[in-house]
Amino acid sequence: MAEPNREGGVGEAHANHVAHHFDTAEQQFESGKLGMWIFLATEILLFGGLFCAYAVYRSNHPEIFVYAHRFLDKTLGAINTAVLICSSFTMALAVRAAQLGRTKALVRLLAATIALACCFLGIKGVEYEHKWKEGLLWGRRFHATLEQPAGAGNAVVQPSAPAGMNPEERSLIPPAAVGPRGLARPGQRAPGDEELGPPKNVQTFFAVYFLMTGLHGVHVIAGMIVLTLMLLRARRGEFGPGYFTPVDLAGLYWHLVDLIWIYLFPLLYLIR
Amino acid sequence: MERDETTTAGANPPMGNALGADNYLRHGRGLKSWLFTLDHKRIGVMYLVSILASFLLGGVFALLVRTKLLTPGNSALMSADHYNQMFTLHGAVMIFLFVIPGIPAALGNFVLPLMLGAKDVAFPRLNLASYYMWVIGAVMALISMTTGAVDTGWTFYTPYSTTTNTSVIMMVAGVFVLGFSSIFTGLNFVVTIHKLRPAGMTWFRMPLFLWGLYGTAIIQIMATPVLGITLLLLIAERALGVGIFDPALGGDPVLFQHFFWFYSHPAVYIMILPAMGVISELVSVFSRKHIFGYTFIALSSIAIAVISFLVWGHHMFVAGQSNLASMIFSALTFMVAIPSAVKVFNWVATMYKGSIWLATPMVYVLSFLFLFGIGGLTGLFLGALATDVHLHDTYFVVAHFHYVMFGGTVIAFLGGLYYWWPKMFGRMYSDLWGRVAALLIFVGFNTTFFTQFVMGSHGAPRRSYHYLPEFQRYHQLSTLGSYILGIGFVIVAVNLIHSLFRGRPAPANPWGGATLEWRTASPPPHDNFATTPVAGDPYDVEAWRYDRTIGGFVPRAAGDSPAVG
């Protein structure tokens, strides 16, 4: 976005960065910032589609999500969350360093942010590899053999319809005191009775998991490319108190990438 | 004859024709100066040429489809499979390559900064990137057409789109890339309107075309990403089998329809809102009268943009959604009619007691009012639950859609093109031939599509290769109309291209418009204005009087200072 007009070489740091169609540097900065916020809105809407799909499938088939989320590694997910939060912190410090004109600190902090992003992707790679080996994949590629936990079936009291009543109307009957809560329909299990064995269509959860984390991963990579460009420009000493818009905007983008993960982690790993 | 620029040198921008002087067309020579330009005017012109080429391609597809439909049975012209591909490509090319970028990216790009008295849009590089995204998307669509084409209809409904063996992935990926182009344009326009308005131009002193573009840009920004993720999911479904839309794997194909229409219903307002903006400009200028109900027209653009996000379910009345949802969507659909009607009434009120000047652009305005009126009202037939069950998937839907998109958007686009053509290229076209073509298009259009209303209400299903012999008369009449339309467009093309070489040099303000783009030379210089003009009332058209000696308008006040207007 609002990139500087580089035709004029160095010198007069302020005027150089103002493109010909802007009156002042402030107008240019504000335009860049507004543009970035609008772009971030489009990113949220892009992920919004996936969050929507998540909500639809989880509300239609909660048993799949409750059952399948146990195959995700909570520890690695938590570590990754911490890693990303740390990277947001270093990014915020980098923006501060750019504003204060501390070029050396800026370069170091950007490098730290990129390193943390690499760390995140590495851990994510380990997780993906486990899933791949066990065949816990999406839709057509799903080929894991799901275990039948011992003592399946009989232990749980199911709400049942009195004789002569249409089984479709079972949901009219209040749940038994010890039984699973909520409505029961034929072929669907209520959340909480995963002891009955794997539900149908477990692959749906992994489709959602790989789509959401995959798209997020692509955004992490895009962010790393942007941060690397910032790093190179920072080393040339392009940023200072008079001009730090690109670092600021890259920072906004990076925070958004972190924020999305902060929603993904509980939605996928911490289901109850 | 021409007013000399030097007489108004200094503080005032050059008035008159600048064909021989330094203008944006002559500023920098050679192919490279065009391909890498950051000038919004040149990008607008490149967009214009590109989308007109797409329009030609989509038009040829349409004529082929209509020609096949002359007979009810098998045709030597094309097989049933080719027919399916042909109507799909007609829809996809017209929607994604022509109508969506049509007015905003081509006319809007050229006019928006000029109307603001600005030198350029806020992000010129992003603007150029938007154009190249369009080119890449168009090339991908062309690759898809030559490697098996697509036969799903432009809506790409699952499960057919995930099982047909045509080149769906390439087309869908192309549309995904075109989405970037659309988002970039919208983002650029919103920031430009927020940050680059000149002194004296408050929100409610903005030309209404800018309100239209602003509403459009909001929808582009908020709806297109959802289409993006939908198309990515469709690609993932086809390429990897993620099963998210496949019932056999626990997925839900109706979810695709929800996602798709969440974008594509607002998208029809991406197409119509800028058209309404164009009409708002033209109707005031060619009635030589201040626009009536400015605030209502401006706010109705925003109202349409907001409501457009809440009506997508009316495409799915027969797709098994709950009765409650259908009723709510139906009621919301009816609400869209209110701001649309507010606009139409205000345009008609603007014409009332005006001195109407039937120049070519105004002929298109009148065309628009008739055709959009019919298109809009038949939309209510389809929004009503009971009648929709009867009319769903018939030719009635096809006719309604074309009345709004063609009779609305394309007609307004042509009106706008004729209106700003002298500003863009500094030449006047033949007004007589312009009006003849407009009349032919009006007659041809109604012959083509009004018959389809009749056919559809008799139950003729859309998109079918074979049809019952009882519909043959209608189909033949419709095809005849499409040929008349084709002839009309040939005259438009010849007239405009001829004007580029032989047209009379255009004055700075040939129509007497009071918006800022008429206060600079035709064609404008590279930097648009010598000094940033101060904005006044954009509809004070009576401040300009016709000057016979230059064939254009000059400010009414003595001394001819444009700043007085």
Condensed to tens digits (0 to 9), the pLDDT of residues A103-124 reads 999 999 999 999 999 999 999 9
Minimum-distance CB partner of B187 among A27, A38, A138: A38
Respond yes or no on whether ipTM tops 0.85.
yes
Determine the pLDDT at residue A148: 52
Minimum-distance CB partner of B191 among A35, A48, A139: A35
Burial-class residue B538 by CB neighbours within 10 Å (0-12, 13-18, 19+).
buried
In total, chain A counts a number of residues equal to 272
**CB-based contact A39 B125, cutoff 8 Å:** no
Condensed to tens digits (0 to 9), the pLDDT of residues B387-425 reads 999 999 999 999 999 999 999 999 999 999 999 999 999
Q: At what angle do helices B253-286 and A25-60 cross, to 10 degrees?
A: 140
Burial-class residue B389 by CB neighbours within 10 Å (0-12, 13-18, 19+).
exposed
Determine the pLDDT at residue B41: 96
From the candidates A38, A52, A61, A211, which should be mutated to test the interface with B, based on the most B CB atoms within 10 A? A38
Question: Residue B244: its chain A contacts at CB < 8 A?
Answer: 53, 139, 204, 207-208, 211
**CB-based contact A139 B255, cutoff 8 Å:** no
Task: Report how far residue B402's alpha carbon sits from residue B381's, in angstroms, rounded to the nearest whole number.
Answer: 15
Determine the pLDDT at residue A188: 53
Residue A160 lies in a domain: no
Give me the tens of pLDDT residue by residue for chain A, a chain 272 residues long. 344 433 333 333 445 678 888 888 889 999 999 999 999 999 999 999 999 999 999 998 898 999 888 899 999 999 999 999 999 999 999 999 999 999 999 999 999 999 999 999 999 999 999 999 888 888 888 887 776 544 334 334 444 444 555 545 444 444 444 444 555 555 555 555 545 678 888 889 999 999 999 999 999 999 999 999 999 999 998 998 989 999 999 999 999 999 999 999 999 999 87
Q: Cα separations (Å) of A173 from A158, A185, A192, B333, B399?
A: 11, 11, 19, 38, 50
Q: Nearest to residue A186, comparing CAs of A155, A161, A151, A153? A: A161
Domain chopping of chain B, boundaries: 41-286, 511-565
**Helix/strand number for chain A, H first, E second:** 7, 0
Task: Report how far residue B303's alpha carbon sits from residue B381's, in angstroms, rounded to the nearest whole number.
Answer: 21
Q: What CATH code is carried by the domain that includes residue A230? A: 1.20.120.80
**CB-based contact B230 A49, cutoff 8 Å:** yes
Q: What is the total count of domains within chain A?
A: 1
Determine the pLDDT at residue A144: 77
Residue A49 lies in a domain: yes
Question: Residue A201: its chain B contacts at CB < 8 A?
Answer: 249-250
**Which residues have C-beta within 8 Å of that of residue B260, sequence separation ≥ 6?**
B155, B156, B157, B227, B230
Determine the pLDDT at residue B12: 39
Q: Cα separations (Å) of B516 from A1, B4, B111, B344, B487?
A: 27, 20, 10, 25, 35
Residue A167 lies in a domain: no
Q: Is the peptide bond before B159 cis (omega within 30 degrees of 0)?
A: yes
Q: Is the peptide bond before A174 cis (omega within 30 degrees of 0)?
A: no
Collapse the DSSP code of B43 into the 3-class scheme (helix H, G, I; strand E, B; otherwise coil) and give the result.
Answer: helix
Collapse the DSSP code of B552 into the 3-class scheme (helix H, G, I; strand E, B; otherwise coil) and give the result.
Answer: strand
**Which residues have C-beta within 8 Å of that of residue A18, sequence separation ≥ 6?**
A4, A5, A24, A25, A28
- Smallest CA–CA distance, residue A105 to chain B, in Å, is 30
Determine the pLDDT at residue B523: 93
Using a CB–CB cut-off of 8 Å, the residues of A that contact B are: 1-3, 19-21, 27, 30-31, 34-35, 38-39, 41-43, 45-50, 52-53, 56-57, 60-61, 64, 138-141, 200-201, 203-204, 207-208, 210-211, 215
Which DSSP state fits B505?
A: E
Q: Search chain A and give the residue with CA nearest B182.
A: A42
CATH topology of domain B41-286: Cytochrome C Oxidase; Chain A (1.20.210)
Determine the pLDDT at residue A150: 40
Condensed to tens digits (0 to 9), the pLDDT of residues B471-484 reads 999 999 999 999 99
| Total-model pTM | 0.88
Burial-class residue A102 by CB neighbours within 10 Å (0-12, 13-18, 19+).
middle
From the candidates A33, A46, A245, which should be mutated to test the interface with B, based on the most B CB atoms within 10 A? A46
Condensed to tens digits (0 to 9), the pLDDT of residues B69-97 reads 999 999 999 999 999 999 999 999 999 99
- Smallest CA–CA distance, residue A212 to chain B, in Å, is 11
Residue A214 lies in a domain: yes
Task: Report how far residue B103's alpha carbon sits from residue B269's, in angstroms, rounded to the nearest whole number.
Answer: 12
Which residues in chain B show pLDDT less than 50? 1-14, 559-565
Question: Residue B527: its chain A contacts at CB < 8 A?
Answer: 20
Q: Could you tell me if A25 and A14 are in contact, meaning their C-beta atoms sit under 8 angstroms apart?
A: yes
Residue A270 lies in a domain: yes
Domain span including residue A43: 34-139+202-272
Determine the pLDDT at residue A113: 97
